[in-house]
Amino acid sequence: MLSTLLLALVVSGTPLESVIPEGTVLRVVLNEKISTKMLQENDPVLFSLADDIRAGGRRGPVLIPRGSSVVARVAKLDRAGHLIGRSNIDLRVEEIVTGDQVFDGLSTKIVEIGEIKGSKGEVKIDGKIDGPVHRKRDAFLLLFPPTTIFQLMATPARGPDVVLPVETKLFVKLMSPIYVEHQVAETEPAPVLSAPKPVLQGASVNSEMYNVDELVSPVAFCPDTVLRYVFDASTHPLEVYQASQWMQQPRSGTPPRWDASIQALVGYPDLFRRLANDIEWTERLGNVYRVRPNDVKDAVQRIRAQPRVVASCASSTFQQR
């Protein structure tokens, strides 16, 4: 019954829908420094999504990829006065923009701010961010209450502003669900992982295992410590491509914050070039490893056990720099 329903969906091209439930907490990273001194109400504030949003937990398919643009807006802003009050800002995430979709009309609330040097602000229960107390000003007013215009003019300056440096991490709670549609092609068949001729001889495995073996064979003889980075990096094909582009340009300063596996593989230029030059193969490898990691590891051991395969790690000049 279930297989009949799935077949009908594929034939009809009906979009499939996944739900990111209410209460999900998203981690976002601020793209620029902001403060209550710089902003006004209704101004946009740009963030980037720090983690993949997946269906069914950490191993599920990616619904919204990390690095997607996150647009917040200043719903309300107040600066501290010269005499009383604290600065506060109410930021509300309204949109998430991916390469081909826009999720707008979101209902959200900030629940926490990650600690970072230079940050001045704390989240309250209603989601607003309050600035620090102006202790010197408040102490002055308690000791010497102003009674004349001269005393008012001499009162300490305005209280401190809310300040959030670039790369500040905010934790945003969804107050309503997000619905993600997946369009199923009408005539295109399900992708087959194998394309080249088999590299194994004498292997007796079913077609599913045979496809995984072919997929893994280019990197099967990499050292285990390096192979772990290869598999992890293959689950982030977009970052592999971005890192490859970054390596080909004049560089200054620190590199972008890619996944730790990609940062590790940059030190193996020949191997990294293998992943970047065939990004379709890298993505397929990552898709299989994400849902069938044990099958991929078993395939490595089968390939290594074949006596007719020449041991190599993606390149005969494999080395670390």
Mean pLDDT of the chain: 75
Q: Which CATH architecture has domain 2-182?
A: Beta Barrel (2.40)
More confident residue, 24 or 55: 24
Of 71 and 264, the one with more pLDDT: 71
Residues 6+ apart with CB under 8 A from 35: 161, 162, 163, 164
Helices (H) and strands (E) in the chain, counts: 10, 15
Indicate the SS3 state at residue 62. Answer: strand
27-61 tens-digit pLDDT: 999 988 888 888 889 888 989 999 888 876 666 78
Q: Is the pTM of this model over 0.75?
A: no
Between 246 and 154, where is the model more confident?
246
Greater model confidence, 15 or 133:
133
d(CA 285, CA 299): 12
pLDDT band per the 50, 70, 90 thresholds, residue 253 = low
Task: Look up residue 77 and give its two tokens.
Answer: 């802003």
Q: Which residue has the higher pLDDT, 303 or 11?
A: 303
Please, how many CA atoms are within 13 Å of residue 143, restricted to the half-sphere of its CB? 8
pLDDT per position as a tens digit, 128-148: 888 787 655 555 555 555 555
Q: Which residues pair with 113 in a beta bridge?
A: 170
CA distance 171 to 190: 37
Instruction: CATH 2.40.128.260 in the chain: give the residue spans.
Output: 2-182
Terminal Cα distance for the chain, rounded: 55
Q: What is the per-residue pLDDT for 188? A: 44
Cα-to-chain-centroid distance, residue 213: 30
